Structure 1
């Protein structure tokens, strides 16, 4: 990772660690069944995007998609927990454990989103599609354009001939 964010300690966290931690927490959160199947499907889809980002380590598209879905999943996790947290039979140990793991997963997602953002920037990704001020396409308008004085100016013809029209 030879990017501008190498001094950031979060840049040293491998992408594999983020994917593995969220995979384990998702499985633990889903084991008791208090969350709907959509929770597991959403998180497994995001983990598959993480695997895509690991497999294509030079691609900005894969890490951008992973980051985008990861941030959306924060809102979705809040909705899932708000709707399904108070379920009947929540006295059992497995349900309490699943609820705790789903909360840990939610609390770790903003930190891992920032880690993903650092990896995205290290791969050359930009926050927007607009070029930055330090782009190489900058042209200094204060300098005169180079000219070639050896080029002769084209002379216009002095007389025009009429085109031949067959009769």
Structure 2
């Protein structure tokens, strides 16, 4: 089964629109700062089509905003009984759009991860920490002679017909 190609611009645009609509009534400024910062990184990923780092940062930003959105909803979701009908409708719309944004973020993360792989990112994410491996296939033993040259190596730069130097 082939994964459909979703444009990164479409992902950024949809999440921008849902974030704007989600910020209309009830979420704190930290929700807006987190999501709009992540979307700015998404614009960076759109602008630099060959950058693996931009897509990886956008993917990590999406994952982090999933967690922070859940925390924001848990802390700041109020039960307003005294709202007027117009304010109640705006509140419901804002809540609905922010929840829809949260529900779409894992799907967007999947598509952004596919873009990360298409741009040349590898499956394992390396954060720059040094690792120790025991794979010694790339090493050449010092006991083996290099058979590519026909003449033996002359470490003392002597001519072939000259007398060998004495070693003490």
Q: Structure 1 length normalisation: TM-score?
A: 0.76
Q: Name which of 63, 66, 69 aligns with 1:77.
A: 69
Structure 1: which 5+ runs fail to align?
1-5, 131-137, 161-167
Alignment match of 1:41 (pick from 33, 36, 58) = 33
Residue 115 (structure 2) aligns with: 119
The residue matched to 1:150 in structure 2 has which SS? coil
- Structure 1 outlier segments of 4+, above 6 Å: none
CA distance in 2, matches of 1:78, 1:59: 30
- Structure 2 CA distance, aligned partners of 1:152 and 1:78? 69
Q: 1:15 to 1:151 in 2, by over 3 A?
A: same
Q: CA separation of 1:13/1:146 partners in 2, compared to 1, >3 Å: closer, same or farther?
A: farther
Shift in Å at residue 159 of structure 1? 6.4
Whole-angstrom CA distance in 1 between matches of 2:21 and 2:44: 23
Aligned ranges 1:7-156 → 2 under 5 Å:
7-9=2-4, 12-32=5-25, 34-88=26-80, 89=82, 92-126=88-122, 127-129=124-126, 139=138, 146-154=147-155
Q: How far apart, in 2, do the equivalents of 1:64 and 1:29 lie?
A: 25
Distance 1:84 1:159 in 2: 85
Q: CA deviation at 1:145?
A: 5.5
Residue-pair matches, total: 143
The whole-number CA distance in structure 1 between the counterparts of 2:89 and 2:12 is 26
- Residues 106, 152 of structure 1: alpha-carbon distance in 2 compared, 3 angstrom cutoff: closer
Q: Distance in 1 between matches of 2:153 and 2:139?
A: 27
TM-score, scaled to structure 2: 0.76
Greater relative contact order (Cα 8 A, min sep 6): structure 1 or 2? 1
